[in-house]
């Protein structure tokens, strides 16, 4: 039976709560209501109010409580109802949780779940991709799974990690993506990218929901005789630069794709790494496809124009092939 991306995250949470009594959840409406997106449905009934904790509408309080609990030996999983509102807890994440290991070798084993991304007509306050705010913060780990398999495996690894992990789950994938998962327990390592489609002519590097856009574009390009390799980063911090560079060495052309806005996005960091490490292998310029530097529009036609899609990727890839 196929498991959705949403159900995979729930399964990962459930298994870790069964495995370790120190794991608990906290967030807005995650208890009896089951969460805004129903990711935590059923967990309150199974584990009770002491381990599935409904909180006030205060992300700062949620993050602060999670950090305190983690310092006392628990393993909290804090939910931001929408990733956009993580800003209310930003100071505590980047100026405290991220620095405890460096300052006094203190473990802060907490996970912050952040439903992110557009394509659901949520407007500028419910559709952002704020991962890069945290990728530049030493001491944090940042993951962004694209598949149900990786969503389950990475949430389990994040909970077991002894440092703070930001877990970005794309809302548009929750019920759209599904696959058969192994019946036996498994985890996915943090910090390791994955080649999800082999190719020889061009590499597309991406993560999150854009993995599916990249695969769609690769299918279209294959019909035109082009062999496209797709690399799913899976983890943004620490970044698996080696897998990216090895793919670029093989194909000699690279297109960097992300849903986040352009300036200061992951593509810029990747482009610098590629130029520093494998410049001599490149047969063309490094190309970026991203959202423009604007807030996420609420209007459905404007949001469609704002978001990267397979058509935009194919257009840029054709240009790069002709270069």
Q: Is 88 a residue whose pLDDT tops 90?
A: yes
Q: Going by C-beta distance under 8 Å and a sequence separation of 6 or more, which residues neighbour residue 220?
A: 310, 314
> How much is the average pLDDT of 43-72?
98
* Overall average pLDDT of the 218-245 stretch: 98
pTM: 0.97
Question: What sections of 230-299 are H helices per DSSP?
Answer: 241-251, 266-278
| Long-range contacts of residues 69-74, Cβ cutoff 8 Å, at least 24 apart | 69/24, 69/110, 70/97, 70/107, 70/108, 70/109, 70/110, 70/164, 71/100, 71/106, 71/107, 71/108, 73/22, 74/22, 74/23, 74/24
In the predicted model, what is the mean pLDDT of residues 31-49?
Answer: 97
Structure tokens at 217: 């574009």
Tens digit of each residue's pLDDT (9 = 90 or more) over 126-161: 999 999 999 999 999 999 999 999 999 999 999 999
Beta-bridged to residue 195, according to DSSP, are: 231
| CB proximity list for 113: less than 8 A, separation 6 or greater | 9, 27, 39, 77, 78, 79, 80, 155, 167, 169
Could you give the CA distance from residue 247 to residue 229 in angstroms, rounded to a whole number?
A: 8
Q: Domain 194-322 classified CATH 3.10.180.10?
A: no
Domain with CATH 3.40.50.920 in the chain: 194-322
Q: Are the beta carbons of 229 and 197 closer than 8 angstroms?
A: yes
- Residue 211, pLDDT > 90, answer yes
Question: Which CATH number does 3-179 carry?
Answer: 3.40.50.970
Mean pLDDT of the 40-54 span: 98
Task: For the chain, give every residue range classified as CATH 3.40.50.970.
Answer: 3-179
Burial 156-186 (b: 16+ CB within 10 A, else e): bbbbbbebbbbbbbbbbbbeebbeebeeeee
Residue 239 — pLDDT band, cuts 50, 70, 90? very high
Q: Which of 152, 147, 232 is nearest to 184 (CA)?
A: 152
Mean pLDDT (whole number) for 230-244: 98
Residue 1 pLDDT exceeds 90: no
Looking at the chain, the whole-number percentage of residues with pLDDT higher than 90 is 100
Query: How much of the chain, in percent, has pLDDT values that exceed 70?
Result: 100
pLDDT for res 97: 98
314: β partners: none
- Report CA torsion sign: 187, 189, 193, 194: negative
Active-site residue list: 126
């Amino acid at each position: 039976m196929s498991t959705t991306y949403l159900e995979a995250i729930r399964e990962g949470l459930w298994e870790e709560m069964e495995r370790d009594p120190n794991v608990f959840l906290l967030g807005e409406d995650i208890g009896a209501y089951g969460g805004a997106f129903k990711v935590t449905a059923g967990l309150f009934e199974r584990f009770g109010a002491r381990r599935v904790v409904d909180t006030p509408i205060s992300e700062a309080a949620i993050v602060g409580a999670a950090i305190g609990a983690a310092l006392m030996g628990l393993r909290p999983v804090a939910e931001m109802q929408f990733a956009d509102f993580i800003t209310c807890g930003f100071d505590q994440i980047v100026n405290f949780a991220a620095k405890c290991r460096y300052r006094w070798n203190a473990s802060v084993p907490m996970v912050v779940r952040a439903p992110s991304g557009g394509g659901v007509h949520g407007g500028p306050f419910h559709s952002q991709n704020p991962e890069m705010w945290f990728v530049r913060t030493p001491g944090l780990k940042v993951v962004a799974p694209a598949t149900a398999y990786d969503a389950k495996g990475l949430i389990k690894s994040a909970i077991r990690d002894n440092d703070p992990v930001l877990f970005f789950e794309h809302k548009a994938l929750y019920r759209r993506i599904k696959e058969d998962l192994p019946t036996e327990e498994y985890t996915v390592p943090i910090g390791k990218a994955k080649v999800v489609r082999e190719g020889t002519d061009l590499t597309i590097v991406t993560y999150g929901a854009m993995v599916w856009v990249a695969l769609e574009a690769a299918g279209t390009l294959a019909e035109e005789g082009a062999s496209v390799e797709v690399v799913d980063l899976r983890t943004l911090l620490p970044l698996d630069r080696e897998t990216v560079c090895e793919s670029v060495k093989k194909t000699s052309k690279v297109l960097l794709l992300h849903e986040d806005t352009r300036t200061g996005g992951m593509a810029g960091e990747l482009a610098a790494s590629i130029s520093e490490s494998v410049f001599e292998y490149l047969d063309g310029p490094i190309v970026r496809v991203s959202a423009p530097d604007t807030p996420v529009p609420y209007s459905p036609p404007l949001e469609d124009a704002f978001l990267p899609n397979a058509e935009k990727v194919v257009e840029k890839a054709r240009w790069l092939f002709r270069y």
